Chains A and B, each alone.
Chain A
Amino acid sequence: MQFFFEVLIGGLLSGVLYALVALGFVLIFKASGVFNFAQGAMVFFAALTFVGFMEVLPGWTGLEAGGTAVFWLAFVLALASMIVLGILTEKIVLRPLVNQPPITLFMATIGLSYLVEGIAQGIWGASVRGLDLGIEDVPVETLMDKFNILVSSFDVFAAVAAGVLVAVLALFFQYTRIGRALRAVADDHQAALSIGIPLKHIWAIVWGVAGFVALVAGMIWGARNGVQFALTYTALKALPVLILGGFTSVPGAIVGGLIIGASEKLAEVYVGPMVGGGIESWFPYMLALGFLLVRPEGLFGEKHIDRV
């Protein structure tokens, strides 16, 4: 039983990370109806840019390597590059494709993900880099003592960070002017335009926010497994999460992430040995697929009505 809980908690915590990446998808899909396959590449780009700045900044500015100042400066610079990337994407890729079928936009973002991967590695190199956020990967002692369950403190930190991020986003969407405008745009582009909401700025902001989410996700994933090309595959993990939660729902991304994370780990541990292991690669997809057949719009998705 104790082992079961350990696996479950581990799965839930990794699910939080999937949810973080899925969140970036949801934000963009909600506001512009674009299914951004390049989100994984953006996570990679963000993490790589952050680490890259961490490396070069001490040389440029004379700041102490690994210090707080360098950390925050690198963070700001990485965030700025993500916002620039987002705005450029919107201008160069999406604007000319307005009014095209969603599938075309989707294929364009597949192209975008190749482009972003290539640029990221072209600038910063392809080597695997470590990223130290200053949190140790040791078991949480109180849980260890009381219930004898092994939970890494780093995972707990990641979960808390993700939770805070989601809370901030929720508040931002609910209570700020921009948040309200974003929700209006998400509901209906044309109606939002007609009451004077500047669609261009809104899209730029959305891509900026998605870039911010990608940066946070990339930093946490990168600190966990090193900053490397495999980060782009986080997009592939986020897809079943989205399917499960619905493309347009922030809570859906969170709940979907938790379900996928937990069920994937449990399946790997309990079902995997029976069939030869390694089922983590496809289990989330099959789960999402089975779920789709029952409820095509996902857990929290909007029901779609077709008209001729």
Chain B
Amino acid sequence: MLYREAGQFKTTYEADQQIFPIAQDRIGIALLIGVFALVVPLIADEYWLKAIITPVLIFSLAAIGLNILTGYAGQLSLGSAAFMAVGAFGAYNVILRIDGMPFILALILGGVCAAIVGILFGLPSLRIKGFYLAVATLAAQFFIVWVLVKVEWFSNYSSSGVITAQAIEIFGYTFESPESKYLLTLAIVVVMALLAKNMVRSTTGRMWMAVRDMDVAAEVIGIRLMRTKLLAFAVSSFYCGVAGALYAYAYIGTVEPEGFNLDLSFKILFMIIIGGVGSIMGSFLGAAFIVLLPIFLDNFVPVVLGDLVSASFVSNLQLIVFGGLIIFFLIVEPHGLARLWQIGKEKLRLWPFPH
């Protein structure tokens, strides 16, 4: 009966249209954010904050970006890492070249750069779809990384194309400690996730879903395909771009274009498959799963199997487990971990009685 909504009457349109219409959800989300903002920095040590929770948050943002494009608008993309690269290098250049650029604005501008590039590479989606489009996004993946390596202006003429993120400074406060970087990331991710959640249940989101389910039918009922698809590309790349900028500034610090390779794109794709295609919460679950799984395998397998297996086998095991899980999830639960949570919620509505 944890999720019983009986008795929660909505008497105004505002009440009916809020993001989380059920009181339990509202309390739950507030508690969750509260715990992550107040409790986690106190109890988590530096390794956890720096190497696990921050990247999970950043990858969640990238996964939300891809989820908007693939999960909601139905356009398969294999180039999300490239858009992250654009965001990272965009923010870097904005801060470098404009004096007194506020960090948040730089982040947004980095995202805007990514959005513009995203629209450019989304243009083919008007003519082509499905696998063909996947190949077009692969073109983006290879081309963008190549441009960032070859055009030295982007990396401020550093010899190897590597950029070192400047210090993050907002209103004179410098974010240096892992805690402060984590909290900054958390704040940005929470705001952007709520925005995304809101967007996908608005007219825009419904148009995306109509295009995903059947684009010809969507066009027939008067949805402008071009605008809708390009908007999906723009918003998705914006999210990926901001995630890329955070990746550079709040997580890695020193990035090179080749870091944003096809493998990373695939990882983000795996995050949304495992987390749940077409679900904002799934993006978080998937990101956490994909970041934690290798760490788990690295620490767990040698302990359990001991000297039976070599280190190289463990890294292969990672490939096997990743691949196997993708197939498993696609077959058994195409809606991913988010769906499991939904089923749990349904059950909790009636609990402890089954009817």
A contact residues vs B (CB 8 Å cutoff): 35, 92-93, 96-97, 100, 102-104, 106-108, 110-119, 121-122, 125-126, 236, 239-240, 242-243, 247, 275-279, 281-282, 285-286, 288-289, 292-293, 296, 306-308
Other than A102-B130, A111-B326, A288-B139, give 17 A-B pairs with Cβ distance below 8 A. A93-B331, A97-B330, A103-B130, A111-B327, A118-B319, A119-B316, A121-B312, A236-B138, A242-B135, A247-B131, A278-B149, A285-B135, A285-B139, A286-B139, A292-B128, A292-B136, A293-B124
Q: Is the C-beta of B153 less than 8 angstroms from some C-beta in chain A?
A: no
- Give the CA-CA distance A111 to B267 in the complex, in Å: 11
B312's partner among A126, A276, A281 (CB-CB below 8 A) is A126
| Cβ proximity bits B69-81 to A, threshold 8 Å, 1 near / 0 not | 0000010100000
Asked if A285 and B316 make an inter-chain contact with CB atoms under 8 angstroms apart, the answer reads: no
Q: Is the C-beta of B175 less than 8 angstroms from some C-beta in chain A?
A: no
- Give the CA-CA distance A125 to B262 in the complex, in Å: 23
A306's partner among B134, B216, B312 (CB-CB below 8 A) is B216
Asked if B269 and A289 make an inter-chain contact with CB atoms under 8 angstroms apart, the answer reads: no
On whether A289 and B142 interact (CB within 8 A), knowing A113-B323, A247-B131, the answer reads no
Q: Is the C-beta of B41 less than 8 angstroms from some C-beta in chain A?
A: no
Q: Is the C-beta of B322 less than 8 angstroms from some C-beta in chain A?
A: yes
For A122, the closest partner residue in chain B by CB is: B316
| Cβ proximity bits B140-158 to A, threshold 8 Å, 1 near / 0 not | 0011001001110000000
A122's partner among B130, B142, B216, B313 (CB-CB below 8 A) is B313
B326's partner among A92, A103, A110, A275 (CB-CB below 8 A) is A110
- Give the CA-CA distance A114 to B330 in the complex, in Å: 15
Asked if A35 and B143 make an inter-chain contact with CB atoms under 8 angstroms apart, the answer reads: no
Asked if B312 and A285 make an inter-chain contact with CB atoms under 8 angstroms apart, the answer reads: no
For B136, the closest partner residue in chain A by CB is: A289
B contact residues vs A (CB 8 Å cutoff): 74, 76, 124, 127-128, 130-132, 134-136, 138-139, 142-143, 146, 149-151, 214-217, 220, 262, 266, 269-270, 273, 312-313, 316-327, 330-331, 334
Residues in A with CB closer than 8 Å to B320 are: 114-115, 118-119, 122
Residues in B with CB closer than 8 Å to A286 are: 139, 143
Asked if B330 and A104 make an inter-chain contact with CB atoms under 8 angstroms apart, the answer reads: yes
For A125, the closest partner residue in chain B by CB is: B312
Residues in B with CB closer than 8 Å to A285 are: 135-136, 138-139, 142-143
Least CB distance from A36 to B in Å reads 11
Asked if A107 and B135 make an inter-chain contact with CB atoms under 8 angstroms apart, the answer reads: no
Residues in B with CB closer than 8 Å to A108 are: 326-327, 330-331
On whether A308 and B319 interact (CB within 8 A), knowing A102-B130, A282-B143, the answer reads no
For B313, the closest partner residue in chain A by CB is: A122
- Give the CA-CA distance A268 to B284 in the complex, in Å: 42
Asked if A107 and B143 make an inter-chain contact with CB atoms under 8 angstroms apart, the answer reads: no
Asked if B131 and A289 make an inter-chain contact with CB atoms under 8 angstroms apart, the answer reads: no
Residues in B with CB closer than 8 Å to A117 are: 319, 323
Instruction: List 9 A-B pairs, Cβ < 8 Å.
Output: A103-B74, A107-B273, A114-B320, A114-B322, A118-B322, A281-B142, A281-B146, A289-B139, A296-B132
Least CB distance from B126 to A in Å reads 9
Least CB distance from A27 to B in Å reads 16
A275's partner among B135, B150, B220 (CB-CB below 8 A) is B150
Least CB distance from B314 to A in Å reads 10
Residues in A with CB closer than 8 Å to B215 are: 306
Least CB distance from A178 to B in Å reads 27
- Give the CA-CA distance A122 to B323 in the complex, in Å: 14
- Give the CA-CA distance A247 to B326 in the complex, in Å: 25
Asked if B317 and A112 make an inter-chain contact with CB atoms under 8 angstroms apart, the answer reads: no
Asked if B316 and A115 make an inter-chain contact with CB atoms under 8 angstroms apart, the answer reads: no
Asked if A112 and B143 make an inter-chain contact with CB atoms under 8 angstroms apart, the answer reads: no
Residues in B with CB closer than 8 Å to A106 are: 76, 131, 134
Residues in A with CB closer than 8 Å to B135 are: 239-240, 242-243, 285, 288-289
Asked if B330 and A279 make an inter-chain contact with CB atoms under 8 angstroms apart, the answer reads: no
B330's partner among A107, A277, A278 (CB-CB below 8 A) is A107
Which of A106, A116, A122, A286 has most chain B Cβ within 10 Å?
A: A122
Residues in B with CB closer than 8 Å to A239 are: 135, 138
On whether A114 and B326 interact (CB within 8 A), knowing A107-B269, A286-B143, A308-B214, the answer reads yes
Asked if B124 and A289 make an inter-chain contact with CB atoms under 8 angstroms apart, the answer reads: yes
Least CB distance from B265 to A in Å reads 10
The 3 A-B pairs of least Cβ separation, nearest first, read A111-B326, A115-B323, A118-B319
Least CB distance from A3 to B in Å reads 24
Residues in B with CB closer than 8 Å to A275 are: 150
Asked if A110 and B266 make an inter-chain contact with CB atoms under 8 angstroms apart, the answer reads: yes
For B76, the closest partner residue in chain A by CB is: A103
Least CB distance from B227 to A in Å reads 19
Residues in A with CB closer than 8 Å to B266 are: 110
- Give the CA-CA distance A108 to B269 in the complex, in Å: 11
Residues in B with CB closer than 8 Å to A122 are: 313, 316-317, 320
- Give the CA-CA distance A114 to B315 in the complex, in Å: 12
Residues in A with CB closer than 8 Å to B318 are: 118
- Give the CA-CA distance A245 to B139 in the complex, in Å: 17
Residues in B with CB closer than 8 Å to A242 are: 135
Least CB distance from A229 to B in Å reads 11
Least CB distance from B6 to A in Å reads 37
Asked if A121 and B316 make an inter-chain contact with CB atoms under 8 angstroms apart, the answer reads: yes
Least CB distance from A251 to B in Å reads 19
For A120, the closest partner residue in chain B by CB is: B316
